[in-house]
Amino acid sequence: MVVVVLVLAEAGPIVWVRFSSMQDADDIANTAAFQYKVYRNEADAINEVAAKMKTMGYSDEEVRESSVVFLPQGPGSKTAVKVTVIKYASTLIIRHINALKRFSRVATTKQVEISTATEKQ
């Protein structure tokens, strides 16, 4: 019984972060695409994404490890944005044994066409 509770306590937050990061990745990719659509500036879009992630509760480390890539890469007009969001699940064991943190890392990628991006409130 104790083992079952321990497994649920450790796996639950990781599963929850996996599901919640899917919606977050969609929102963040849409934000980046909309900012680029309006201002045509990659740096401004990336700064807006970082600010949005902070307001969503992402740590500085998670923001740094996440990525925003405008496609096609290189010079020229961009047609899509691909965002990879990194989130660390906080579990009981990981809070006490920091070396296991890498096992709680969840990466979620979402790609959005810039032409379909809309402003979300």
Q: Where residue 74 sits, what CATH number does that domain have?
A: 3.30.1300
Cis peptide bond N-terminal to 72, omega within 30 = yes
Examine residue 92 and state whether it is found in any structural domain, yes or no. Answer: yes
pLDDT at residue 121 above 70? no
pTM of the model: 0.85
Q: In whole angstroms, what is the distance from residue 9 CA to residue 100 CA?
A: 15
Examine residue 61 and state whether it is found in any structural domain, yes or no. Answer: yes
Examine residue 78 and state whether it is found in any structural domain, yes or no. Answer: yes
Split into its structural domains, the chain has a count of 1
Structural element, H or E, at residue 7? helix 2-39
Residue 85: which of 30, 4, 39, 40 has the closest Cα?
30
Please give the single-letter amino acid code of residue 70.
F
Examine residue 50 and state whether it is found in any structural domain, yes or no. Answer: yes
Examine residue 121 and state whether it is found in any structural domain, yes or no. Answer: no
pLDDT digits (tens, 9 = 90+) for 39-93: 999 999 999 999 999 999 999 999 999 999 999 998 888 999 999 999 998 877 7
Q: In terms of residue numbers, what domain contains 87?
A: 2-116
